């Protein structure tokens, strides 16, 4: 057999293995690296770069690695297509010297935000990173040089072994421990080290990633609709205790659909 041909085959195999190792370590080894698409402050250009990078990496992926990249790619594409704001989301505003526009405002069924004396501000398709400029432009129609601070809040579920399971509007600057305390804190039967965040029925974060000191919800890539699930010490989830939350979500969705239909 030709030694040069053998060497070429070995080199190609080595390069392919090196590529797979690089992609696996950069995308999957670090939970925070894999969550880039979930960062709320990502710009549209950031997300487009991430989308193209993920699409290119899929060529050499298979199995669980491929499915993980496909899920992240779908999340990025959804953000680019639909934006970040949904009916019922709460946006916290602070407008310097203007108390009437300082407070919490709800995104309407048509994805606009209504402020007193201001034309409807359209947030359809807007990313969180784009909202400050959009809201400032809306206020500029009635106020000269508005100084605006925005705190887009997330509605998340907290279920399982917590004292007051339910839905909560939280700030991206909060810590995981703050979210748990909103729900009354863990019960005596809670397995704190097994806390997980679920998205679309699948675990997104778990265990050590959630206990890292100083990391905020924004740092962790938590998005509206995510669920904080606290198991008990036997590893069981309180499905019966929290089934009302699922029914409440269905009722809320039906109410929004009815409003849109009208």
Tell me, letter by letter, the H, E, C secondary structure of 204-229.
EEECHHHHCCCCEHHHHCCCCCCEEE
**Domain residue extents for the chain:** 3-82, 90-146, 153-259
CA distance linking residue 240 with residue 253, whole number of Å:
21
CA dihedral (53, 40, 167, 86) in degrees, to 10, reads -90
CA distance linking residue 39 with residue 223, whole number of Å:
8
| 3-class SS letters over 146-168 | CCEEEEEEEEEEEEECECCCEEE
Amino acid 257: pLDDT: 55
Amino acid 33: pLDDT: 36
CA distance linking residue 238 with residue 164, whole number of Å:
12
Count of CB atoms within 10 A of residue 237's CB? 15
Give bridge partners of residue 157 from the DSSP assignment: 167, 227
CA dihedral (169, 175, 177, 183) in degrees, to 10, reads 0
CA distance linking residue 259 with residue 262, whole number of Å:
5
Amino acid 149: pLDDT: 85
Amino acid 15: pLDDT: 43
pLDDT along the chain (262 residues), means of 10: 50 43 33 47 89 87 82 86 86 87 90 93 93 93 88 85 92 88 92 87 80 80 86 64 54 55 56
Residue 126's closest CA among 80, 93, 89, 91?
Answer: 80
Q: What CATH code would you report for 153-259?
A: 3.10.560.10
Residue 176's closest CA among 126, 228, 139, 224?
Answer: 228
Residue 70's closest CA among 34, 39, 21?
Answer: 34
Q: What is the residue whose two structure tokens read 């409003």?
A: 259
Amino acid 23: pLDDT: 35
- Is residue 121 packed enough to be buried (19+ CB in 10 Å), middle (13-18) or exposed (0-12)? buried
Helix ranges (H only) for 25-129 are 31-34, 44-57, 63-82
* Residue 87 near residue 111, CB atoms below 8 Å: yes
Q: What share of the chain is helix, strand, coil (3-state, %, to 5)?
A: 50, 20, 30
Residue 220's closest CA among 197, 201, 193?
Answer: 197
Amino acid 160: pLDDT: 92
């Amino acid at each position: 057999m030709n030694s040069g041909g053998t060497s070429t085959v070995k080199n190609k195999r080595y390069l392919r293995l090196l590529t797979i190792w690089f992609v696996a370590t950069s995308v999957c080894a670090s939970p925070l690296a894999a969550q880039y698409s979930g960062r709320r402050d990502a710009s549209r250009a950031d997300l487009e770069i991430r989308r193209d990078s993920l699409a290119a990496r899929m060529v050499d992926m298979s199995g669980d690695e491929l499915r993980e990249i496909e899920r992240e790619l779908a999340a990025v594409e959804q953000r680019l297509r639909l934006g970040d704001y949904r009916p019922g989301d709460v946006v916290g505003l602070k407008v310097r010297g203007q108390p009437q526009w300082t407070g919490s405002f709800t995104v309407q069924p048509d994805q606009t935000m209504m402020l007193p004396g201001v034309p409807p501000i359209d947030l359809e398709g807007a990313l969180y990173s784009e909202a400050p400029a959009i809201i400032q432009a809306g206020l500029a129609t009635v106020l000269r040089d508005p100084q605006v601070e925005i705190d887009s809040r997330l509605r998340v579920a907290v279920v399982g072994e917590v004292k007051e399971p339910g839905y909560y509007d939280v700030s991206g600057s909060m810590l995981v421990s703050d979210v748990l305390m909103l729900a009354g804190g863990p019960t005596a039967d809670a397995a704190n080290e097994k806390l997980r965040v679920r998205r679309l029925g699948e675990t997104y974060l778990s265990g050590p990633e959630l206990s890292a000191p100083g990391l905020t919800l924004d740092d962790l890539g938590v998005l509206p609709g995510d669920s904080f699930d606290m198991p008990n010490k036997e590893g069981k989830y309180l499905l019966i205790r929290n089934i009302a939350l699922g029914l409440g979500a269905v009722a809320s969705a039906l109410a929004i659909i009815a409003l849109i239909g009208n």
